Amino acid sequence: MYEYLDGAVVNVNPAYIVVDVNGVGFLVNVANPYSFELDAKQKVFVHQAVSENDQTLYGFKKAEDKELFLNLLKVKGIGPKSALAILANDDHTGLINAINNNDVSYLKKFPKIGPKAAQQIILDLKGKVAVENEVGTLFDLSTTSNQALDEALEALIALGYSEKEVKKLTKKLSEQTDRTTDQYISSGLKLLMKG
């Protein structure tokens, strides 16, 4: 699986870009191809979707956009093309707020998203995505001054624990000083298993 491509965008089309990485051209489907600079070396975050008869790359300017795309793919009935169409709008804050505030009418504005699909997006993602904070994460954790602790909290959420469960641990874990990220994760898991 690819994380990103670092190369020059050599071709821009209405539905995709071509990224040249050391002489190999990768066709990457993107939400807004014209937001990428032609002939400029840049990092394109990618997700590879593999099906029975196809392998497709989907690209994003920021890692946070890729994370939001992957969250949308978890929604029942939302495929890569629908998720990409939703992300074509640069107002991701509006999208996330609509999800967290049950705003079905906002979500219905996206192509091929009807009332049922909008409700499913809310049902599957409410409370799981939040507005990007200063650390660049999509989770709405108030960050501490302890980078190892912040990384541990994000890792616990990535393991599948809810943001609410992880927020409850912050105070107890922050009392433990001089710990590595790994040690904070171990302590957090022990606390989660007790509760």
pLDDT reading at 44 higher than 80: yes
pLDDT reading at 170 higher than 70: yes
Report how many domains make up the chain: 3
Assign residue 104 the CATH number of its domain. Answer: 1.10.150.20
Average pLDDT of every residue of the chain: 86
Domain-located, residue 121: yes
3-state SS class at 112: coil
What residues pair up with 131 in beta bridges, in sequence order?
Answer: none
* CA pair distance 130, 111, nearest whole angstrom: 22
pTM over 0.85: no
* CA pair distance 107, 99, nearest whole angstrom: 8
- Do 77 and 41 lie in one domain? The reply is no
For residue 29, give Cα distances in angstroms to 42, 108, 181. Answer: 16, 23, 35
Confidence band for 8, pLDDT divided at 50, 70 and 90: very high
The arithmetic mean of pLDDT across residues 183-188, rounded, is: 88
Give the tokens for residue 97.
Answer: 């707020």
pLDDT reading at 180 higher than 60: yes
Candidate ranges 21-25, 61-65, 94-98, 162-166; pick with highest mean pLDDT: 21-25
pLDDT > 90: what percent of the chain? Answer: 43
- Of 41, 60, 79, the residue that ends a domain is 60
* CA pair distance 96, 94, nearest whole angstrom: 6
Cβ atoms of 169 and 153 closer than 8 Å:
yes
- Do 35 and 87 lie in one domain? The reply is no
For residue 157, give Cα distances in angstroms to 166, 192, 193. Answer: 7, 12, 14
Residues 110-152: tens digit of each pLDDT: 888 999 999 999 999 988 887 554 334 444 444 567 888 888 8
Assign residue 173 the CATH number of its domain. Answer: 1.10.8
3-state SS class at 60: strand
Domain-located, residue 132: no
Domain-located, residue 44: yes
What is the number of alpha carbons within 13 Å of residue 75 lying toward its C-beta? 28
Confidence band for 34, pLDDT divided at 50, 70 and 90: confident
Give the tokens for residue 63.
Answer: 């890692």
* CA pair distance 149, 41, nearest whole angstrom: 34
- Do 110 and 68 lie in one domain? The reply is yes
Residue 39, Cβ neighbours under 10 Å: how many? 10
Domain-located, residue 136: no
- Do 68 and 47 lie in one domain? The reply is no
In sequence order, what DSSP letters do the residues of 82-143 get, joined into one string?
HHHHHHTSS-HHHHHHHHHTT-HHHHTTSTT--HHHHHHHHHHHTTT-----TTS-SS-PPP
Residue span of the structural domain in which 181 resides: 147-194
In this prediction, residue 27 carries a pLDDT of 97
Give the tokens for residue 170.
Answer: 């912050």
What is the DSSP secondary structure assignment for residue 23, as one 8-state letter?
T
Rounded to 10°, the helix 63-73/92-100 angle is 40
